[in-house]
Amino acid sequence: MTRPIPANLLDRTRAALNRAIGVYRGTADEPQLVAIRDRLDEPLRVAIAGRAKAGKSTLLNALVGERLAPTDTGECTRVVTWYADGHTYRVTAHVADQPPVQLRFSRDDGAIEIDLAGRAPEEIDHLTVIWPSQALRTTTLVDTPGIGSLTDRVSRRSWDLLAADGAEEEAMPTDAVLYLMRHVHASDMEFLKAFRDSEVSRPNPINAIGVLSRADEIGVGRIDSMASAQRIASHLTMDPRMRRMVQTVVPVAGLLAETAATLTEAEMERLRRIAKLAPRDVEALLLSADRFRESTPELGLTRIERDVLLARFGLFGLRLAAAIVRQRVVRTAGELARELSARSGLVELRAVLGSLFFERRDVLKSRSALLAIDALTRTRPAPGSEATAAEVEEILAGAHPFSELRVLTSVRAGWVTGKPAVIDDLERLIGGQGVAPHVRVGLEPDASPQELTSAVHAALERWQIRCESPMTSREMAIAGRIAVRSCEGMLASLTGGGRGE
């Protein structure tokens, strides 16, 4: 009897996992496979990686919307830490070959302080922080130690988590990564090369986003710093070396983003005092951190209050916030928070995360699960595992979302070449800028069904002609046929005949 083929990619992956669990029933690998199957229904796992002092914990706090991760150089910053949603507050240490241990923690007004109970950070594989949070309901965030840290063992933790290979790569623990860069360093490129791979069943540029962190420092804290950072990020995005590593590069002023997410009315009142000064006086006051700390008593802020403002906003944030308040663009702390969040680049980053990660959630999660099965059947074959491996290979080769990933990777690697306008059109159609139909055909989000259908028909005809032209290279023709199928899938979905894949 022929078993029915599940309708969509996630269901096919789940079916493959169920059969793998049957093959490895009663072995030490069964629990891992069950956990991977359960993971299909869990939030997307996104790691935040980068060199030491790149602002990883600060960005994590901004994404969560509250100060959870410690941003200093304490013990816990040397341990991989998972932040996940839950119904209670709990911190657990995971140590190799030992049962998980629940740890004590405290939190007053800032980050969580975790008591490692006398354990050295090097002894702990990772920490799990369960924290009720709306932001964490859709995304589990993983804070990693800095690449290139002073201690090699600390730096190695991030490599082991995100760039494993060979027999150790039983499963990539995360589905995607945000890689933070203050500027492009040799170790950044080395890490990203290790993280990406040309095969769809391994990490590739589609699940990596570069973040030009601490972007305000690029313009030395000037109010127009983010404009300078945006130009640099755009240049990096188009750099052929970087395009092979990450999907795009987004500038973010992490400290400002974190502060915007946690802004208080008391801070708003202190900013009003600064904004009441004449613009020339504000400029002189914020010329340097020392000048602000030593400001005259007329400002009405104590030395401690000024130090806290500097720590929370930095000079760029203070200059920008004071200008916004002085211009009466906002009136409340909530309004200022929204304005600062938009100016920090966090809103753009959330939009990129949505279009490139969350809309492709099922593809990324399926990739992670299929990678696990593939590695297991290769490294520890068992009776019946050959059939399971063949099923995984069939899914990877036949599922259209994976074909799109292969083409996107080939384009980014320079294997598929053509005129810039043609390459841009190809990337967009296969989901390189997001998988929503209006994004694929370059329309606005409020485009009507008729406009969408017309644009998809035009794209389909355009690429059918290109694929049949004798002037089209073999590589472009192969890629074009994937674009044609993407257009056909969109048309089927728009007309009610989609298959769910």
* Average pLDDT rounded to a whole number, residues 73-88: 84
The count of domains in the chain is 3
Residue 37, in any domain of the structure: no
Q: Are residues 299 and 350 in the same domain?
A: no
Query: What amino acid is encoded at 404 in this protein?
Result: E
Strand partners of residue 74: none
* Average pLDDT rounded to a whole number, residues 58-87: 86
Residue 165, in any domain of the structure: yes
Q: Are residues 180 and 162 in the same domain?
A: yes
Token output for 30: 């069964």
The predicted-structure confidence for 415-430, as pLDDT tens digits, reads as follows: 888 999 999 999 999 9
Query: pTM for the full model?
Result: 0.80
pLDDT value, residue 161: 61
Of the pLDDT bands very low, low, confident and very high (cuts 50, 70, 90), residue 497 is low
Per mean pLDDT, which range of 14-28, 104-118, 414-428 is the poorest?
Answer: 104-118
Q: Inform me whether the pLDDT recorded for 447 exceeds 90.
A: yes
Q: Are 404 and 482 in contact (CB under 8 A)?
A: yes
Angle value at C-alpha 80, between 31 and 66, nearest 5 degrees: 110
Q: Are 142 and 157 in contact (CB under 8 A)?
A: no
pLDDT value, residue 168: 36
Residue 2, in any domain of the structure: no
* Cα 390 to Cα 388: distance, rounded to the nearest angstrom: 5
* Average pLDDT rounded to a whole number, residues 329-354: 92
* Cα 443 to Cα 455: distance, rounded to the nearest angstrom: 8
Q: Which of 295, 328, 357 is the last residue of a domain?
A: 357
Q: Are residues 187 and 288 in the same domain?
A: no
pLDDT value, residue 120: 85
Token output for 114: 């975790």
Residue 11, in any domain of the structure: no
Q: Are residues 455 and 419 in the same domain?
A: yes
Share of the chain above pLDDT 70, in %: 86
Q: Inform me whether the pLDDT recorded for 341 exceeds 90.
A: yes
pLDDT value, residue 135: 92
Torsion over CA of 188, 147, 375 and 15, rounded to 10 degrees?
A: -90
The predicted-structure confidence for 468-487, as pLDDT tens digits, reads as follows: 999 999 999 999 999 999 99
Residue 29, in any domain of the structure: no
pLDDT value, residue 197: 43
pLDDT value, residue 461: 96
Q: Are residues 118 and 207 in the same domain?
A: yes
Q: Are residues 89 and 152 in the same domain?
A: yes
Q: Inform me whether the pLDDT recorded for 142 exceeds 70.
A: yes
Of the pLDDT bands very low, low, confident and very high (cuts 50, 70, 90), residue 256 is very high
Instruction: Return the closest-CA partner of residue 206 out of 334, 368, 74.
Output: 368
* Cα 276 to Cα 281: distance, rounded to the nearest angstrom: 10
* Average pLDDT rounded to a whole number, residues 16-39: 94
Residue 421, in any domain of the structure: yes
pLDDT value, residue 109: 66
Q: Inform me whether the pLDDT recorded for 220 exceeds 60.
A: yes
Per mean pLDDT, which range of 27-31, 75-79, 389-393 is the poorest?
Answer: 75-79
Q: Which of 324, 357, 390 is the last residue of a domain?
A: 357
* Average pLDDT rounded to a whole number, residues 139-163: 67
pLDDT value, residue 178: 92
Residue 27, in any domain of the structure: no
Q: Are residues 69 and 165 in the same domain?
A: yes
pLDDT value, residue 355: 81
pLDDT value, residue 408: 84
Please give the residue that has the higher pLDDT: either 53 or 190.
53
Q: Can you give the CATH number for the domain in which 186 is found?
A: 3.40.50
Per mean pLDDT, which range of 13-22, 84-93, 210-219 is the poorest?
Answer: 210-219
pLDDT value, residue 95: 87
Q: Are residues 235 and 279 in the same domain?
A: no
Which of 239-243, 301-305, 382-386 is most confident? Answer: 382-386
Q: Which of 325, 357, 389 is the last residue of a domain?
A: 357
pLDDT value, residue 318: 94
Of the pLDDT bands very low, low, confident and very high (cuts 50, 70, 90), residue 147 is confident
Place of tokens 């494993």: 164
Residues in the chain: 501
Q: Are residues 350 and 316 in the same domain?
A: no
pLDDT value, residue 368: 83
* Cα 194 to Cα 217: distance, rounded to the nearest angstrom: 28
Query: What amino acid is encoded at 326 in this protein?
Result: R
Mean pLDDT of the chain: 85
99, 237, 406, 458, 462 from 467: Cα distances, Å:
57, 28, 18, 14, 9
Residue 114, in any domain of the structure: yes
Q: Are residues 178 and 267 in the same domain?
A: no
Place of tokens 């904004």: 275
Q: Are residues 59 and 168 in the same domain?
A: yes
What residue numbers bound the domain in which 49 lies? 44-253+346-357
* Cα 354 to Cα 358: distance, rounded to the nearest angstrom: 5
Q: Are residues 151 and 243 in the same domain?
A: yes
